[in-house]
């Protein structure tokens, strides 16, 4: 029996608020398409900040901080699609999401890009300003990880201030549904390719990471 396809959403909000409401809306769209949908709330994940060790650029093994980031990364690796969702705080991505991107990216994902060719979606939630900037930041992060971002029309940015306002942004929620539908379309297409061909090498990424062949950036100590 073929396993059900799955989308994993990373919620970078500190609260069970508007971003969570938007992801519940996204889950309904995925359910209607027969795709499982799981949310990881970073607010409930034990996550240390990057420490003072400073050896990330020289390490060839994953981060040694023993928190919950590695478990979330494993869930991402096992999923077919991943949604990055975060509210705008201080004209940028909420600090939980920023910390996760740093810890997951530098500590685990950069060695062999295990998220390559997974389908990505991005949602930003804002009162008004910087929704596009945060959406763009998270999208660039998905592209860095060699993920497939499927164009779905207008970006999935939702405007909200008070709790419950996100559910009143009909246009924003429509864009979220369009994005999820397009993600499912691509996930199903990739799954069909694998089943029909027995191959998983569509869009081979070549080098295991972007540092292959580059000179080491050694720190220069002043004389």
Q: What is the pTM of this model?
A: 0.93
Of residues 12 and 198, more confidence is placed in 12
Which pLDDT value is given to residue 223? 37
Q: What is the mean pLDDT of the chain?
A: 91
Q: Give the pLDDT band of residue 1 (cuts 50, 70, 90).
A: very low
| Whole-number Å distance between alpha carbons of 6 and 82 | 9
| Whole-number Å distance between alpha carbons of 43 and 94 | 11
Do residues 121 and 38 touch, judged by C-beta distance below 8 A?
A: no
Of residues 3 and 128, more confidence is placed in 128
With a CB cutoff of 8 Å and minimum separation 6, the contacts of 186 are 81, 119, 148, 150
Which pLDDT value is given to residue 200? 81
| Whole-number Å distance between alpha carbons of 212 and 133 | 30
Which pLDDT value is given to residue 181? 98
With a CB cutoff of 8 Å and minimum separation 6, the contacts of 45 are 67, 68, 69, 71, 72, 100
Which pLDDT value is given to residue 166? 98
| Whole-number Å distance between alpha carbons of 92 and 221 | 34
**pLDDT of 126-178, one tens digit each?**
999 999 999 999 999 999 999 999 999 999 999 999 999 999 999 999 999 99
Query: Considering only CA atoms, which of 157, 142, 140, 176 is closest in space to residue 88?
Result: 157
**pLDDT of 14-32, one tens digit each?**
999 999 999 999 999 999 9
**pLDDT of 98-117, one tens digit each?**
999 999 999 999 989 999 99
């Amino acid at each position: 029996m073929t396993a059900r396809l799955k989308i994993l959403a990373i919620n970078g909000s500190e609260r069970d608020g508007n971003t969570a409401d938007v992801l519940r809306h996204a889950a309904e769209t995925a359910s209607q398409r027969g795709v499982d949908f799981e949310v990881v709330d970073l607010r409930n994940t034990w996550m240390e900040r990057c420490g003072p060790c400073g050896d990330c650029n020289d390490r060839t093994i994953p981060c040694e901080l023993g928190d919950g980031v590695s478990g979330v990364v494993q869930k991402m690796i096992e999923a077919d699609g991943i949604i990055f969702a975060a509210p705008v705080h201080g004209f940028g991505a909420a600090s939980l999401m920023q910390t996760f991107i740093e810890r997951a990216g530098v500590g685990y994902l950069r060695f062999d890009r295990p998220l390559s060719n997974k389908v990505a979606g991005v949602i930003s939630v804002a009162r008004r300003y910087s929704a596009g900037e945060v959406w763009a930041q998270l999208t660039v992060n998905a592209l860095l990880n060699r993920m497939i971002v499927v164009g779905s029309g207008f970006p999935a940015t939702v405007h909200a201030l008070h709790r419950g306002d996100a559910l009143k942004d009909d246009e924003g929620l429509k864009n979220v549904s369009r994005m999820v539908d397009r993600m499912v379309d691509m996930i199903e297409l990739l799954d069909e390719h694998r089943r029909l061909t027995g191959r998983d090498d569509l869009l081979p990424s070549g080098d295991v990471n972007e540092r292959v062949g580059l000179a080491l950036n050694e720190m220069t100590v002043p004389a």
